[in-house]
Amino acid sequence: MSNILSQDEVDALLKGVQSGEITTGTAKEKIISSIRPYDLASQERLLRGRLPGLEIANERFARFFRNSIANLIMHFVDVKVQNVEIIKFSDFMKTIPSPSSINIFKMEPLKGYSLLVLEAPLVFAFVEFFFGGKGAPYIRSEGRAFTVIEQRIIKKVVTMALTDMANAWAGLAPINPEQAGSEMNPQFVTIVTPSESVIKIEIHIEIEDFTGTMLFCVPYSLIEPVKEKLYSGIQSERSEADQRWVERMKEILLDSSVEVVAELGRVELVCEELMNLDTGSVITLGKSVTDDLAVKVANIQKFSGQPGYSRGNQALRITKIH
């Protein structure tokens, strides 16, 4: 009951309201004052939705780039699109560690510049595996520039990435990515105003036990001409075999070694017969000298053939393919 106003307090409050010393406002007015105009065609609204076309292009890039890096370093590589988000350019630059390999590139005929960022540990891993190393070493990167060798590997990787990007975007727009420059310090890179929205594409690259990060930064204003395709999507190629991957697998298989055995015959012996075998013993194989021999590959019969000689060596002529 102590919170109830006395009559004198009520009179003083009413007097203050009438004189204007105390301002009043309704709950409805407070709600209205917090409402701001919202443009349904604004960039903010458009960026909140999914981008099916871009998602498919990213999937294709991951497959293409996986093959390119695997061919470069001769190791199995897994490339995954970890995250895609829309943020301000200033926020994107804050996420880049220093030093990093920040590569500026154009996407002709689209107007503007984009970024491809390779974090320092990923660069060191590429160099290590490229030269036959067994794993990515820990190297202190603070306060030093990339070496000449590291820069050459970066150049190779960036060139492959931009080529794969062009192929991945073929269903969205015919683009010709071309590197325009590079930098190590994020403070020295400005491709749009700090408040402009950009698409951040985070890609994780796994090589054995190592995982590194590569980033794409694409200004929204740059993809405006093809935004309808980004939202409508392009035909997915999940079910289509990646031809380059198939060709690579063929090369590996053709270079693989397999054991080929020509089997003269096979017979079962009881233990007593086996124990009685001695020098000069004869084992009947149950085959005629004119019968074909079974030719097995990895213990599976694939051919039949006739034994003989070729150029002074024992040989076998294939007579049948199974």
Q: What is the domain partition of the chain in residue ranges?
A: 43-253, 259-321
Q: Rounded distance, CA 64 to CA 107, Å?
A: 18
* Residues facing residue 227 across a β-bridge: none
pLDDT band at 80 (very low <50, low <70, confident <90, very high): very high
Architecture of the CATH domain 259-321 = Roll (2.30)
Quote the pLDDT of residue 38.
52
The mean pLDDT of 149-178, rounded to a whole number, is 92
User: How much is the mean pLDDT over the chain?
Assistant: 82
Quote the pLDDT of residue 93.
93
Tokens of 112: 């503007």
Among 155-159, 255-259, 315-319, where is mean pLDDT lowest?
255-259
The mean pLDDT of 32-40, rounded to a whole number, is 56
Question: Please, are residues 245 and 164 in contact by the beta-carbon 8 Å criterion?
Answer: no
Quote the pLDDT of residue 239.
44
pLDDT of residue 28 exceeding 60? no
CA distances from 72 to 23, 65, 76, 148, 256 (A): 73, 10, 10, 18, 20
Q: What is the pLDDT of residues 268-307, one digit of tens each?
A: 888 988 888 889 888 888 778 788 888 998 888 899 998 8
Give the DSSP H/E element, type plus range, for residue 221. none
Residues in CB range of 264: below 8 A, 6 or more apart:
285, 287, 293, 307
Domains 43-253 and 259-321 equal at CATH topology level: no
Quote the pLDDT of residue 162.
96
Give the DSSP H/E element, type plus range, for residue 103. strand 100-108
Pick 159 or 209 by higher pLDDT. Answer: 159
pLDDT band at 7 (very low <50, low <70, confident <90, very high): confident
Q: Rounded distance, CA 163 to CA 116, Å?
A: 13
Q: Rounded distance, CA 151 to CA 224, Å?
A: 33
Tokens of 310: 């070729």
Q: What is the DSSP letter of 90?
A: H
What is the fold, at CATH topology level, of the domain defined by 43-253?
Chemotaxis protein chec (3.40.1550)
pLDDT of residue 39 exceeding 90? no
Residues in CB range of 175: below 8 A, 6 or more apart:
107, 108, 109, 110, 165, 166, 169
